[in-house]
Amino acid sequence: MTDRYAVIGQPISHSQSPAIHAAFAQATSQDLRYDAIDVAPEALTETLKQLHADGLRGLNVTMPHKAAVVEQCELISERAALAGAVNTLSRTDAGWHGDNTDGEGLMRDLTRLGYTVEGRRVLVLGAGGAVRGILGPLLAAKPSQLVVSNRNPWKPEALAEQFKAVGSITPRTHLALKGDRYDLIINAMSVGHSGSMPRLPDGLVADGGACYDLSYGAAHAPFRTWTETQGATRIADGLGMLVEQAAASFDIWRGVRPQTDAVLKALRAG
Ligand SMILES: NC(=O)c1ccc[n+]([C@@H]2O[C@H](COP(=O)([O-])OP(=O)(O)OC[C@H]3O[C@@H](n4cnc5c(N)ncnc54)[C@H](OP(=O)(O)O)[C@@H]3O)[C@@H](O)[C@H]2O)c1
């Protein structure tokens, strides 16, 4: 019997996960099938039960279900509990075990790019679900300062409180960043999907500073344009993170970590 996996989300037709996992399976000689399944929020509970009954071995979870899935898990990992968000489900006899590989995916891609966090001033733009997954690993990498800035000012404040046992986060609004300088700016806003960028003060990128966007494809364009107007020379999109978080999920499910370079190269080639 071929082991079955899937990614659930809405919308899902654009997902690159089936192609990424098919490439990993081929490269590691694993016999598996991986589908993309469109799931509406109101159908989440029933669908998870059904997919478990159907014998699926694991699921990736994407927008808008990452937070809601936490309550549907029998067990969750420490990092998923800290994030309050799950992107990887593994089958157990009783139900689903939840984990979160987003932060690991980001950190591996930053390492691949040669972007340093330790001792650096780091700014995260946005305070949504993805940010909850990356803050733990970012704090563990010991930045000299970690600032989270968001349109809605309450969210960074809540995150600073939630993560205070792990490390210090400074909450800010975008306009209050005026006069700051950062060695690494990580964009985790979803606004690129609508082709725009909110107003940010000029001068945020320190000399030689690096910029990283969790978004990729067309959604990356507005942030890239902004970084270029700021004179940044080191700019990366989130395609590498996407591949790395998928590799971490694959490892959890199959016990083998696939090579990511060739898959990333193939995705970039289109
Ligand atoms: N590369 C990867 O592997 C990977 C993994 C996960 C996510 N992502 C990407 O990361 C991005 C964020 O995902 P998410 O799950 O965190 O989304 P989310 O939970 O919906 O959060 C969206 C964030 O964007 C901000 N935002 C949205 N519209 C805005 C606007 N017009 N002006 C200013 N801020 C705005 C929101 O601010 P408010 O709180 O003020 O609304 C919030 O902080 C998405 O583009 C997603 O595709 C990539």
pLDDT tens-digit readout, 99-118: 999 999 999 999 999 999 99
As for ligand 1, residues whose beta carbon falls within 6 Å of it are 63, 102, 105, 126-131, 150-152, 155, 188-193, 198, 214-216, 219, 238, 241-242, 245
pLDDT of residue 129: 87
Distance CA 205, CA 181 (A): 6
Q: How many CB atoms lie within 10 A of CB 237?
A: 23
What distance in angstroms lies between residue 163's CA and the mean position of ligand 1's atoms?
Answer: 19
Residue with the two structure tokens 């590799």: 247
- Whether the per-residue pLDDT at 73 is higher than 90: the answer is yes
Percent of the chain at pLDDT exceeding 90: 98
CA nearest to 33, candidates 41, 42, 25: 25
Residue with CA nearest ligand 1 atom 45? 190
103-237: CATH class = alpha beta
Alpha carbons 34 and 15: distance in angstroms, whole number: 12
Contact 2, 32 (CB under 8 A): yes
pLDDT more than 70, % of the chain? 100
**Which of 3.40.47.10, 3.40.50.10490, 3.40.50.10860, 3.40.50.300 would CATH assign to domain 3-100+243-269?**
3.40.50.10860
Identify the pLDDT of residue 162. Answer: 94
**CA distances to 25, 53, 243, 248 from 90, in Å:** 17, 13, 18, 12
Question: What CA–CA distance (Å, rounded) separates 14 from 9?
Answer: 10
Answer yes or no: is pLDDT of 270 > 90: no
Q: In the chain, where does the domain assigned CATH 3.40.50.720 lie?
A: 103-237
